[in-house]
Amino acid sequence: MYNIQFSETASREVSIEQDEIKINNQPVNWDAVALANGSFTIIADNKSYVASVEAVDRTKKTMSIRVNNNLYEIKIQEPIDQLLAKMGLDVSKMQKVEPIKAPMPGLILKVLVTEGQAIKKGEPVLILEAMKMENVFKAPGDAVVKAIKIEERQAVEKGEVLIELA
């Protein structure tokens, strides 16, 4: 059984067994057809909906779904996620963030973070010049800068650890 959370206070238990879907243990009579533009037309309990998936984050198990022009942010908890939550474990906090390494030889132009700084996924952390191009490196996930192994204007080799994250 999956737990689908729509907001801080609204969630539904969903089970899928063969061709039957139950929401909060109530069977749902439904049918869906994929449209050419990537969206779906859905008929559920004699009501018609047009739905499309706007974004998916598999790591965080979240989706943005547009239904009849209303955007919904949903979080999906699989049975294993629910079990871990009951045990007081948070898998997203336990995931290790890999260090940032140089993908090619180059020159560090600018370090945009400091040791001990909390950073969010996608936030710029440094600029590396390689093959006469500036490459902006972004945080691979939410983390804290554990150690900066390089300095500005320093030449680096492929595979060299630039920034350690915790």
Please check whether residue 104 is in contact with residue 131, taking contact to mean a CB–CB distance below 8 angstroms. Answer: yes
Q: What is the C-alpha radius of gyration for the chain, rounded to an integer number of angstroms?
A: 22
Q: How many other C-beta atoms are found inside a 10 Å radius of the C-beta of residue 89? A: 11
On whether the CB atoms of residues 54 and 71 are closer than 8 A, the answer is yes
**Cα distances (Å, whole numbers) of residue 102 to 36, 98, 125, 126, 127:** 42, 12, 13, 11, 11
The model's pTM is 0.50
CA distances from 123 to 97, 113, 126, 147, 152 (A): 14, 10, 10, 17, 18
What dotted CATH number matches 100-165? 2.40.50.100
The SS3 call for residue 91 is helix
Burial of 49 (C-beta count, 10 Å sphere; 0-12/13-18/19+): middle
Residue 41, SS3? strand
- For the segment 64-94, what is each residue's pLDDT rounded down to a tens digit? 999 999 999 999 888 888 888 788 776 555 5
- Categorize the per-residue pLDDT at 98 as very low, low, confident or very high, splitting at 50, 70 and 90: confident
Give 101-154 pLDDT, tens digit per residue: 999 999 999 999 999 999 998 999 999 999 889 999 999 888 899 999 999 999
Domain ranges within the chain, ordered by starting residue:
2-93, 100-165
